[in-house]
Structure formats: structure tokens, C-alpha cells
Chain A
Amino acid sequence: MSAKKDKHAPSVVFGRGIWGDNPVLIQMLGLCPALAVTNTVENSLAMGLATFFVLVCSSLLVSSLKSLIPGEVRISTYILIIATFVTVADMSLAAIVPEIHKALGAFIALIVVNCMILGRQEAFASKNPVGRSLLDAAGTGTGFMIALVMMGTIREVVGMGSFLGMPLFGPNYEPWVVMILPPGGFLTLGGILLFLAWRVQKKEQRSASTPDDGATRLEEAV
């Protein structure tokens, strides 16, 4: 009984998406936006916020309507709900911050096909009460935002020598232009994953325990 209660504790539901099951770094979901728009911190933040909004609103609607949605057409219904909120986010961004909207381009509309969002609806919001679904969506959305801002920070600092547009290293710094170009996205995420794997391995060697499955070990390591 206590284990079951632990699993549904608000802090566990919220925290799972942030680190242990981080959508980008652990589950490898939603990679397209994570690689495409993280060339500056500003873009990463805007993308993270837009995705957070869509995820939380869709989870709210799906979990409140779950008894009304017939099982056979549930996926299409989820996609329609998500697409509606994406349109709202798209138009709001275009009205409030037109430059960022232009920089993100088609990737705002492409939030519809972010597998992370559909995954949360199918795996969590369709089976859980409204409050818990909201928490889960907020946790996953925050985890996504953290991963994006992390990548955006690395790429902007190294690739342009600035953070949120403020120069950091003075005029003599020669920026690594490749980091803000497409290859930089792959290399940054690859580097982060290698670092995480290295930490897991180090932790493992220290405890020298018998091998079990990787997911639980990663949770212990971080």
C-alpha cells in the first residue's frame, strides 16, 4: 500500500518528468524541436514555454473528457485537441513576440507531432484524475524546458560567445560557429548524453553492485 501511495505522491508525479524520465535526455522524445530551435537561449525558452502551454492545456482537457471520448477514436481526438491548442499558441506568439515567432518558423506548428505530448495523453492523462494529470504534464513540460534551455545555453555560449544576447568573453573570443549550425545540435545532445552515461558508469563502479536495468540506475545516479 505504501509503495502505491508513494507512486502517486504529488512530488513523485511532478518530479518524474523533470529528471528520472526527462522526455529529451532519457526518453529521447520530442527530438526535432530540441535540436532545431536551440541555437539561442531565447528561442529555446520560447519553444519550451509554448510546448509547456500546449501540454498542460491538452492534459487538462483530455483528463476531464476521458469518460466521453470513445476508445476507438481516442488518438484522433487527442491530436485534434493538441492541434487546437497549438493554433492558439502559434497565434499568440505571432501577436506578442513576432521576431521569435519568425525565428522558430514551422516548428511552432510542428508541436502537434511532438511525440512527447501525445505520449503523455495516451500514457497518463487518459487514465488519471485531472489534478494528477496536470501535475504530470507540468513536470514533463518543465523537464522538456530544462533540457531545451540547457542545450540552448551551451550552444549560444560556445557558438556566439553570448548569453541571452549579452556578450560574455569580450571581443577577442572566436565563436565556434558550427555550434549554432545544424551539426552543433547533434553534437551538443550527443555530448550531454555521453556525459550522463559517463556519470552513470562512474556511480556504478563506485557501488560495484550487480548489474540491473539501466533506468533505475540512472535515477540513482542523478
Chain B
Amino acid sequence: MSEISLILVSAMLVNNFTLAQFLGLCPFMGVSGRVETALRMGMANIFVLVLTSICAWFLNTFVLEYAPFLQTISFIVVIASLVQLVEMVIKKFSPSLFRQLGIYLPLITTNCAILGLALNQSNKGYDFFQGLAYAVGAGAGLTLALVLMASIREEADLAPVPRVAKGMGLVLIIAGSLSLAFMGFSGLFTTAAS
């Protein structure tokens, strides 16, 4: 049990997907303009991450053991179909949520955090529940980074920054500072699994 909570907290804070491992930067840069959208994007990501983790476990156990060279191809095919499926289910059962998520939902397919989770999970040899904890932790960390970034950017929009710094340059410097702050968590567990 303690090992599972360790995986969860480690994936969320110490090895935060966005700020320490550079996974999922596209939504981090693109969707972090407003807190509300950032939160929604984070939720959609958690959902897809957990489903991916389950699928990756099944693939690892039943298919890839016999054909390891298919890893990249099979993961990306499963993720693409999964996102398509999630899209259809959400459209059917909650059209309002579907409208709110808009273009972000299909874009999750090319979010490296999803494929990165599947690959990391396989490389570390996590079992079913460890993988689940890893997915929830990673998703929570992603959401945390997105919401933090969006809150800062909402303020930065009103700040009198020099004209040169308006735009992506400033966003990256802010991200760098956030990443520095998250490095403080690396002392949290001395034995944290990396």
C-alpha cells in the first residue's frame, strides 16, 4: 500500500510529468491561458491517462510479451482508438461537456504524456494497480501544473511587462521558475523511485 502511495505522490510532485519530464508540453503551452479551460483539459487528461494505463497493462501482459518490437506501433494505435471512443461516448452522454472540451479532446492523441505514460509504465514493469496509481498521479500532476500556469498567466496578462517579453518568451520563463520550484520536491523522499 505504501509503495502505491509513493508511486502516486512521486508521479505527481517529484517527477511531475510536465515540469520535470517535459511530457505534455503542447497543452501546457497552448491551453494554459485561462484557469477554467486548464482545469477541464486536466480532467480530460486524467480520464484518458487512466484508461491508457489499463490498456497498456493488457497489451503488455497478453501481446507484447510475444512481439516486443510492436510496442510503439501498438500503443499509438490503442491510444488513437481510445481517444476516438471516449470522444463518441462523451458526445452521446454529455453533449455539453463535449462542446466545452472541443478541439482539446482529439488533440489528446498527440499528447506525449499519454504515450509517455504507457512507455514508462512498461519500462518500469508496474503491475496493474501500480500502473493505475501512476496514471492518477501523473494526471493530477499534469492538472496541477496546468492550473498553476494558467493562474500565473491570468495575472501576467495584466502586468506591465516590456513589449519584447509579451508572448511565448515570458511563458517559458514563468515555466522555468515553476520547474525550479518543483525541484524543491525532489528531497521529499530520499528513496523515491525515479
Residues of B within 8 A of A84 (CB): 73
Distance A17 CA – B26 CA, assembled complex (angstroms)? 20
Quick check: B169 and A194 within 8 Å, CB to CB?
yes
Judge whether B38 is part of the interface by a CB distance below 8 angstroms: no
Judge whether B112 is part of the interface by a CB distance below 8 angstroms: yes
Residues of A within 8 A of B72 (CB): 83, 86-87, 90, 109, 112
| Closest Cβ neighbor of B107 among chain A residues | A115
B15 to chain A, nearest CB (A): 10
Quick check: A110 and B168 within 8 Å, CB to CB?
no
Quick check: A83 and B183 within 8 Å, CB to CB?
no
Quick check: B76 and A79 within 8 Å, CB to CB?
yes
Indicate whether A36 sits within 8 Å of B76 (C-beta atoms), given known contacts A109-B71, A187-B172.
no
Quick check: A32 and B165 within 8 Å, CB to CB?
no
Judge whether B110 is part of the interface by a CB distance below 8 angstroms: yes
Residues of A within 8 A of B120 (CB): 106
Quick check: A197 and B119 within 8 Å, CB to CB?
no
B151-180: contact bitstring with A at CB < 8 Å (1 yes, 0 no)?
Answer: 000000000000111011111110111011
B93-137: contact bitstring with A at CB < 8 Å (1 yes, 0 no)?
Answer: 000000000000000011110111001100100000000000000
Contact of B29 among A28, A83, A109 (CB under 8 A): A28
Judge whether B1 is part of the interface by a CB distance below 8 angstroms: no
Residues of B within 8 A of A112 (CB): 72, 76, 115
Which positions in A face B, CB cutoff 8 Å?
A: 28, 31-33, 35-36, 76, 79-80, 83-84, 86-87, 90-91, 106, 109-110, 112-115, 118, 178, 181-187, 189-191, 193-194, 197-198, 201
12 contacts between A and B (CB under 8 A): A36-B22, A83-B72, A87-B72, A109-B119, A110-B23, A110-B115, A113-B112, A182-B22, A182-B183, A184-B176, A194-B164, A197-B164
